[in-house]
Structure 1
Amino acid sequence: MTTPDTDILDTGTGLQQLMGDRVLYQQILRRFRQRYQDAPAEARAAHAAGDTVVATRIAHTLKGAAGMIGARQVARLAHALESAGNDSLLGALEAALQALLVQIEAVLQQDVQPAPPAPYAASHMPTSMALVQHLASLLDIGDGAAVDVVEQSADALSHTLGAACYQALREQVLQFEYEAALALLPADALLP
């Protein structure tokens, strides 16, 4: 998985953050493409409506998701937009995001028939509350392995957290909303 312009999409960085799991990386690229393709338009609409809080949150979330997949240029522009508090950088962000979406499509086309995801190694899988604490630490540092843990540990997490909490947590993690997911975890999971 290589791209001509690593500033647009550095797949090496993205894969490194997911411990080299190509299938998971492709899944996350697909989710990113689906979730964030309209982010600049959403931020523009929020600014036009005078809702800078929502516009800032959109930029913040895009920054984190772009950083996780190795999209440095989009992450930098989203950070600058978040810091600026106005829509002056939206045009540049839109252009960078379009270039990123082209790169994502190229990467996804490289492996049309991906292999099934490898299960999270059972020898590394903590049990019950230790699993929740492990997930909390991944969410806290924005580690993409959190997606794998949530997907591969559905039964254990659902049992430990309760089905409703697990479903809400899973939804946040799959949308790269790690801070929101972390807020759903019980307080004792956040202890060292």
Structure 2
Amino acid sequence: MIITFNKPVDDFDFIEKTGGKSFINSELWPIDEEGKYLTLVLTLPYTFLKNALGVETDDNTCISVFSTYSQDKDDYFLDKVIYNIEDEEELELIKRNTKVIYHKKAKESINLSDYLIPAMKIEITNEEDTSNINDKPIFLQEELSFSGYKYLLQFYAGDFPKGYENILYISDAIGYLFIKKKLVVNKEAGLYFGQCT
């Protein structure tokens, strides 16, 4: 199965999508190690998590994936989002600069980041490709050991909405999402990082 991002949707739609606005309460919107608001990368509502990915969740909840991001060419953030070796120090840097939050759906959608990635519906097809869902990650460079987490999905950064293909700093990278085996509402819920060769 592969993920595609081809259909524009409204920023405030509560559906599986890239970017747009988040249905997270403002006090839960995560910040990076410098105190800046992270950018919303993906929204995965409870219906999508249950029906498409087989993840047991409470009603009216979702997983929101956030990351350090910049379109300033002088702002080098690759080390904050790319994790290529099994190194605890490097992983801690990733954890400080990307966040996966499982939370209740807020009444209103918001954006606190300096950036608003175009909202594109996440669609799943049965074709084989580099984007894989809920089975086994493809192209993961090492058998990274994430005790307490399970693999959920991956995507190719070059397929991200136009102008944001550098969501992982370089477009030729694969984003991976792992979630905790036990989800707790309004808490951190996983690991998000990229890999490149």
Task: Give the structure-1-normalised TM-score.
Answer: 0.26
| More strand as a share of residues | 2
TM-score (norm 2): 0.25
Bigger fraction of residues in helix: 1
Query: Whose RCO is larger (CA < 8 A, sep 6+)?
Result: 2
